[in-house]
Amino acid sequence: MTRKTPLRSLLAATLATGLAVTAAPAFATGATGLYLGGGLGQMHGDNDFDDEAGMYKLTAGYNVGWLPFLDLGAELGYVNGDSLNGDVDGRSGTLEVEAFEAMGVAGLSFGPLGVYAKAGMADWDAERRGRGLTHDYSGTDPVYGLGARFELLDLTGRVEVERLDTDEIGDIDMVTAGVVYTF
């Protein structure tokens, strides 16, 4: 037996370790690129409209996995909710809210799993309807949230909680489950 066998084994082990070390950070980041998606969820109102209603959300964004375990990106969203029921000065009414959101997103990736936070601004419109209650509201206010994701190939399942922080109609809390596709 020659002494080349231990050297070859050592060389193969070194090469395998080098590949594993360089591949792990690449696997740890989320999918980089443009993404589109949507989701369904619940919207919860505040103040006079302390009620829950269904909602849907459409999203588009760009994610950059520059560093191992760190994802950064930007996201645009459109949110449309069903009617929140409430009582204003003893009269029954409804409130419908829709919003366009622009947010920065930062997250941590652990392979196909990840968590993220996002913050930005939302341009929203709300219609209050009811006998003697009809009024339209609008504004631009902060929106922020937290989420978790699971990535499988180019599809990513997401669950997130967001808050639209308004003074005029109260806070609107949203819980959404959705899917995004990364190009």
pLDDT digits (tens, 9 = 90+) for 139-151: 999 999 999 999 9
pLDDT digits (tens, 9 = 90+) for 106-148: 999 888 999 999 999 999 999 999 998 899 999 999 999 999 9
Say what percent of the chain tops pLDDT 70. 84
**Cα distances (angstroms) measured from residue 22 to each of 12, 18, 45, 63:** 15, 6, 48, 21
How many CB atoms neighbour CB 104 within 10 A?
13
The single-letter code of the amino acid at 152 is L
- Looking at the structure of the chain, the number of domains it has is 1
**pLDDT for 175:** 98
pLDDT digits (tens, 9 = 90+) for 61-70: 999 877 778 9
Question: What CATH number should be reported for the domain holding residue 63?
Answer: 2.40.160.20
* CA distance linking residue 156 with residue 68, whole number of Å: 18
**pLDDT for 30:** 62
* CA distance linking residue 82 with residue 112, whole number of Å: 33
Grade residue 14 by pLDDT with cuts at 50, 70 and 90: low
Domain that holds residue 97: 4-182
> What pTM was computed for the model?
0.80
Q: Mean pLDDT in the chain?
A: 86
Q: In the predicted model, what is the mean pLDDT of residues 28-54?
A: 89
Does residue 9 register a pLDDT over 90? Answer: no
